[in-house]
Copies of this chain bind each other. A is one copy, B any other.
Amino acid sequence: MKTLRVPEATVTRLSIYSRFLERLDKNGVTTVSSGDIAEGVGVSPAQVRKDLAYFGEFGTRGVGYNVKDLMKYTLRILGLDKSWSLLLVGAGNLGFALCTYKGFNMRGFTIKAVFDNHPTKVGKQIGDLEVQSLDSFENMVEKYDAKIGIIAVPPKAAQEVADLMVKTGLKAILNFAPVALNIPDNVELRNVDLSVKLEILTFNLGFHEAENI
């Protein structure tokens, strides 16, 4: 069996191509070349073709790719041909923003329940969800057959929440708390760190200034 390991960078770009293709499709574009995609998302045409080649042959030489087809293929590859139930822990401002974030729904993600252990938060309404105590977490995992949890609690509480998610059988965690979590290998973990990218910017700003001296 041909089990070529797919670089994570390729998956990241695939997600971006996929969204770009949705936009083209919405605008009525029917055919697209690797060069068009490359220009639209800011990579090289060779990169686009190489990335797609990990998964099959989707284009026609001399012509390009059918937008609707390629869009569907990329969505399927990413696992987005079905919808995903998310459980969110942390009903602070970030949790609230994530609950109402349109970008998730547009890609087939639905936050089914929000949890927080702070007494002032429990019972609060966020959109059409009522914030629940963590006591009901396990029940909700079952009820919604959830596989993915989102952590949006302060750093100190994050590991405890992660442990709960692992214990209750979630298979993947998206962590917004700026700490390194300890998680068994069979659970997927990715971190979104809101300030790291900002620090890359300040690093680069400082560096450029230094070069001018």
- Interfacial chain B residues near A20, Cβ < 8 Å: 180
Classify chain A's interface size.
35 or more
A203–B196 Cα distance when bound, in Å, is 24
Q: Which of A86-123 contact B (CB under 8 A)?
A: 86, 92-94, 96-98, 100-104, 107, 109
Determine if A125 is an interface residue (Cβ-Cβ < 8 Å). Answer: no
A57 interfacial contact with B, CB 8 Å: no
Please indicate the chain B residues that have their CB under 8 angstroms from the CB of A205 in the complex: 79, 147-148, 171-172, 188
- Which among B94, B103, B188, B198 is the interface contact of A178 at CB below 8 angstroms? B103
25 contacts between A and B (CB under 8 A): A6-B207, A11-B203, A15-B195, A15-B199, A16-B193, A16-B196, A19-B178, A40-B180, A78-B202, A78-B206, A79-B202, A79-B203, A80-B202, A84-B202, A93-B96, A93-B97, A96-B97, A97-B97, A102-B154, A103-B195, A104-B198, A109-B198, A148-B201, A188-B204, A190-B201
